[in-house]
């Protein structure tokens, strides 16, 4: 009906891209020449107007208070946001890239230096991969890139280690609060950078990388292991345990960003109550009903179920119904 699209619009204005992995040209209706997304925010007691204009085949325009950004990366972190959605199951089931992306999103929203370092690393990685695909033989070209990859990679490694260490206790606390049990959970950051020497490893792997056409080692191959009772949760966890694990990760992300930043993040909970029993759902609602949380958007398909929970915790809220993409304001609870 459009509930997820509504939350995705809020997400887009924070991250300059869709949470649903939609291409920008898909966000322009058939037969139209452009689309506009605009949001008004209150930040540090003043109003912020954010506007995005998308035209197929052209660079999208992002502006803050009518001043256009030169680089979209300048906007990241201005409006911190955490989204919990059914797509998060890929954090457990998907490849290591999903889990690295989770780390990158956490750090980039509060540390601009990390974001710029990551951008530089990825550009260098693309350059090396291009040399490999073109079967370039000039060793000096590779050496220049590989030395820089080690420098930027080591910076990223250090920041990821620091974040994982401070994030872990927040995550464990959220999991225990939601699950109300003694199950042990853990996340462990595993990196090829642990012993340094990336430039040397890249040089040693160069012939092999030429054969396969891409760079086989580096910070872009790191892993974030997620465990339940000392085993990988993707092998052991039930649907309820997986969902509790994911929600705990995202709520810990929220708490972490609030502690590190100047602005309370927006929290989006998209259809998260599926696969959770009523007790866990109520514990989640009570947790986010804490005064430390700011504005929260919750979507659900079971109106009676959600009404009962909101009434039980005494939350002040507004209800909206979405029908075929149209939003209707309903009676306040």
Half-sphere exposure of 165 (CA within 13 A, CB side): 6
Task: For the beta carbon of residue 292, count every other beta carbon within 10 angstroms.
Answer: 12
| Arithmetic mean of pLDDT, 131-146 | 95
* List of residues 6+ apart from 63 with CB closer than 8 A: 50, 51, 52, 69
Q: CA 139: distance to chain centroid?
A: 37
Per-residue pLDDT for 1 more than 80?
no
Confidence of residue 332 (pLDDT cuts 50, 70, 90): low
**For a pLDDT cut of 90, what percent of the chain falls above it?**
63
Q: Is the pTM of this model over 0.75?
A: yes
Provide the pLDDT for residue 135: 94
- pLDDT greater than 70 at residue 333: no
CATH 3.40.50.300 assigned to 1-79 = yes
pLDDT digits (tens, 9 = 90+) for 36-51: 999 999 988 899 999 9
Percent of the chain, pLDDT > 70? 98
Residue 203 predicted with pLDDT over 90: yes
What is the mean pLDDT of the segment spanning 280-293? Answer: 83
Strand order in the sheet with 231-232: 185-190, 223-228, 231-232
> What secondary structure letter does DSSP report for 292?
T
Give yes or no for residue 69 having a pLDDT over 80. Answer: yes
Residue that the structure tokens 């990760």 belong to: 249
pLDDT tens figures, 168-198: 999 999 999 998 877 899 999 999 898 889 9
**Residue range 132-148: mean pLDDT, rounded:** 95
Whether pLDDT at 288 is above 80: yes
133 pLDDT above the threshold of 70: yes
DSSP 101-126: HHHHHHHHTT-HHHHHHHHHHHHHHH
pLDDT at residue 2 in the model: 83
**pLDDT tens track for 239-252:** 889 999 999 999 99
Residues contacting residue 26 through CB under 8 Å, at least 6 positions apart? none
Beta carbons within 8 Å of 219's beta carbon, 6+ residues apart? 121, 152, 153, 156, 157, 191, 192, 193, 198
């Amino acid at each position: 009906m459009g509930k997820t699209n509504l939350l995705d619009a809020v997400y887009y204005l924070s991250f300059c891209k869709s949470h649903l992995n939609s291409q920008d040209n898909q966000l322009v209706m058939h037969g139209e020449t452009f689309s506009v997304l605009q949001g008004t925010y209150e930040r540090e007691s003043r109003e912020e107007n954010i506007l995005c204009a998308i035209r197929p085949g052209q660079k999208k325009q992002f502006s803050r208070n009518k001043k256009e950004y030169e680089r979209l990366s300048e906007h990241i972190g201005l409006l911190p946001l955490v989204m919990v959605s059914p797509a998060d199951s890929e954090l457990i089931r998907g490849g290591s890239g999903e889990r690295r992306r989770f780390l990158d999103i956490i750090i980039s929203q509060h540390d601009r230096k990390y974001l710029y370092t990551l951008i530089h690393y990825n550009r260098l990685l693309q350059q090396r991969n291009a040399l490999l695909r073109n079967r370039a033989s000039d060793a000096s070209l590779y050496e220049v890139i590989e030395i820089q990859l080690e420098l930027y990679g080591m910076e990223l490694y250090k920041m990821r280690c620091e974040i994982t260490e401070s994030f872990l206790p927040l995550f464990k606390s959220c999991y225990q609060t939601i699950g109300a049990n003694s199950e042990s959970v853990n996340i462990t950051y595993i990196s090829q950078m642990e012993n340094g020497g990336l430039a040397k490893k890249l040089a040693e792997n160069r012939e092999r990388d030429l054969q396969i056409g891409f760079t086989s080692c580096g910070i872009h191959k790191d892993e974030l292991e997620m465990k339940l009772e000392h085993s990988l949760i993707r092998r052991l966890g039930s649907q309820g345990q997986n969902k509790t694990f994911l929600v705990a990760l995202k709520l810990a992300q929220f708490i972490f960003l609030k502690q590190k930043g100047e602005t309370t993040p927006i929290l989006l909970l998209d259809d998260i109550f599926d696969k959770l029993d009523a007790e866990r759902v109520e514990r989640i609602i009570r947790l986010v009903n804490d005064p430390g949380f700011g504005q929260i958007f919750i979507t659900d398909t079971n109106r009676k179920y959600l009404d009962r929970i909101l009434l039980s915790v005494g939350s002040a809220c507004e209800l909206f119904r979405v029908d075929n993409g149209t939003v209707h304001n309903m009676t306040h609870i």
